[in-house]
Amino acid sequence: MIYLDNAATTMRKPQAVIDAVVAAMGSLGNAGRGAGEGALGAARVIHGCRELVAELLGCPRADHVAFAPNSTEALNCVINGIVGEGDRVVTTVLEHNSVLRPLNRLAAERGVTVEHAGCDAYGRLDMDELARLVTPGTRAVVVTAASNVTGNVVDVAAVAALAHAAGALVVVDASQAAGVVPIDMAEQGLDVVCFTGHKALMGPQGTGGAAVRPGVDVRPWNVGGTGVRSFDEQQPAGWPTRLEAGTLNGHGIAGLAAGLRFIAENGGVAAMGAHELAMSRRLYEGVAGTPGVTVFGDWPVVGGGARTGVVALNVAGLSSAEVSDALMDGWGVATRPGAHCAPLMHRALGTERQGIVRLSTGWFTTSDEVDEAASAICEIASS
């Protein structure tokens, strides 16, 4: 199989990640729930992973990295922990449902006002509209670091500057960016970065979390057992315990730590992003201009600029599902058709009915694989 669905999950994991999970399954206890070596070993692994995440994201304090099963839960935790009744939030049409649905719920249940900045024909965020929407009194700006539909990268530092000028917090969904796009919370002025472990960070599914700038108050969302301060009637206020109720996925976090070390040992985020971009650019150049093929995103205008490894396209007259099925059945190419949990992006691009075929490269993608995929798309378009 030619696996080009890395924006959904990196199915091909480094062997070190697999080995770390297997080893943890046989050795780790429950962090904070005992005095034995298993419990202490789990605590060391989890703390070590916090340090690796903090280093990757430029978070000033490792204890302000709180783990969650995925970025969706992390975003729910942060959004519900920051936004209060009657608040005003600005977001964008680029967002995944992991941002849109929590905000929609708050709008329905707490009277929160939610505004959406639009995009241009290439799917690029309209920064002028965002600037008009982010006015004094705005509680938070929630924005993706990279579109999961088009692969376009957002200038989160510029977004943060707009937010802070209006007295708002900025929350970044780095699900598609962490590991392949440089993120530095301190340098870019980011208040919260939510991440998932199972995509470009090379970790197992069931891992993710939020990195929070010291001084940002996020009210606890999940509450329950913590292993510490058991007589407190409310969730303990200290970090990261305030955002971590219940047993953490120590086995998965051990694998995530191995994935982060793999990235560091292979050239870091710059090398990972450069490889994804080289492979996706090769794929784009192999299909661009083919009669009947429409490619979405900022490819025509980005030049050598930042992008993730996504090539989003359609073939005229065929639904995205038909194209993805043909690629899998005829050439063994795994892709993602449909709406990608990003309804406003599809409405903006006019692809609500057809959907989009998303091909997404990863660290283990080869030039032969993308050449085969490009050839297959051209053949489908010509048939």
Domains and CATH numbers, the chain: 2-10+268-382 (3.90.1150.10), 15-265 (3.40.640.10)
Q: DSSP 3-state assignment of 363?
A: coil
State residue 38's pLDDT score. Answer: 85
With b for 16 or more beta-carbon neighbours within 10 A and e for fewer, the 84-104 pattern comes to: eeebbbbbbbbbbebbbbbbe
Among 242, 247, 248, smallest CA distance to 229 is for 242
State residue 58's pLDDT score. Answer: 98
At 305, list the tokens.
């600029």
173 has which bridge partners? 144, 194
Q: How far apart (Å, rounded) are the C-alpha atoms in residues 218 and 201?
A: 25
pLDDT tens, residue by residue, 152-177: 999 999 999 999 999 999 999 999 99
Q: Specify the residue for token string 């995509």.
A: 199
Among 288, 275, 309, 287, smallest CA distance to 150 is for 309
State residue 256's pLDDT score. Answer: 98
| Torsion from C-alpha of 87, 88, 92, 93, nearest 10 degrees | 80
State residue 242's pLDDT score. Answer: 96
Q: DSSP 3-state assignment of 212?
A: strand
**Amino acid at the residue 281:** R
State residue 359's pLDDT score. Answer: 98
Among 30, 89, 57, 334, smallest CA distance to 208 is for 57
State residue 227's pLDDT score. Answer: 87
Per the rule left: phi > 0, alpha: psi between -120 and 50, beta: everything else, 167 is left
State residue 197's pLDDT score. Answer: 98
Among 246, 224, 247, 226, smallest CA distance to 238 is for 226
CB count within 10 Å of CB 123 equals: 20
Q: How far apart (Å, rounded) are the C-alpha atoms in residues 78 and 223?
A: 13
In the chain, DSSP finds a helix count (H) and a strand count (E) of: 13, 12
Question: What would you measure as the largest C-alpha separation in the chain, in angstroms?
Answer: 69
324 CB-contact burial (10 Å; exposed 0-12 / middle 13-18 / buried 19+):
buried
333 has which bridge partners? 2
Among 307, 365, 289, 308, smallest CA distance to 333 is for 365
Q: How far apart (Å, rounded) are the C-alpha atoms in residues 62 and 159?
A: 24
- For residues 86 and 111, the answer to whether their CB atoms sit within 8 Å is yes
Quote the mean pLDDT of the chain: 97
For residue 166, the Cα-to-chain-centroid distance in whole angstroms is 26
Q: What is the mean pLDDT of each run of 10 residues along the chain (383 residues)?
A: 98 98 95 87 96 98 98 98 98 98 98 98 98 98 98 98 98 98 98 98 98 97 89 92 96 98 98 98 97 97 88 97 98 98 98 98 98 98 94
